[in-house]
Amino acid sequence: MDTQRIPAHVAIIMDGNGRWAQQRGQDRIYGHRYAVQAVRETCDICAELGVKYLTLYTFSTENWSRPALEVEALMQLLVETVESELDTLMKNKIALQSFGDLDLLPARCREQLKRTEQLTADNHQMQLNLAISYSARSEILSAVKKIAEEVKAQELDPSQINEATLTHRLQTALLPDPDLMIRTSGEKRLSNFLLWQSAYAELFFSKKLWPDFDEKVFVDALYFFQNTERKFGSVSKST
């Protein structure tokens, strides 16, 4: 592996927890709980290899339509995990950030996230971003509305609107675009995740269900990334 070509920003759609549990005769929350270990191992290897930003699709706006008991269990698991992993985040100098429609979260979730974000704010080894209650379409729509309001208030000239105008009004405005997008479970779609930001991300799809995601699969994704020529709409350098 070329350690000089590690992606700065890796985004992951963690899919397959429910199926993993059902294959073992367990309820879906069993899979979600077991998946925490995969998150922990992924954070460790990213920090070790020099990935600067790791963004995890933790909970989508569509996930609110799941059975109430599963949603409640997921919210409780979120609180427990963020609290229990604080020492590890501090030890590894990892800052935690979250984005999405966080107002929809239970108060205890918002409070735990805010507390952990504040305590880890000075950590600079890596930034772990949790996309929670997140929808890329809603994010883009909100940014467009902000631009429209600024134009209406004559704070923004329509002739000056460009890609950066919208980018700076997204929830991820302070993050670089993902270099590598990974999705587990064999599904091959983005599922409303970072649609604007992933325009030129390299997409790696694994058949592994997320609880089985490990260092080997992650290294496979990195080899894929390093063996892909990133042209960004231009022509190949070898042409």
Catalytic residues: 15, 63
Task: Report the Cα 31 to chain-centroid distance in Å.
Answer: 19
Residues 6+ apart with CB under 8 A from 61: 100, 101, 104, 133, 134, 135, 138, 192
Distance CA 22, CA 124 (A): 39
**How far is residue 229's CA from residue 236's CA, in Å, rounded to a whole number?**
7
Q: Return the closest-CA partner of residue 176 out of 46, 45, 10.
A: 10
Please give the span between the terminal C-alpha atoms of the chain, in angstroms, as a whole number: 25
Q: What are phi and psi of 99, to 5 degrees?
A: -150, 160
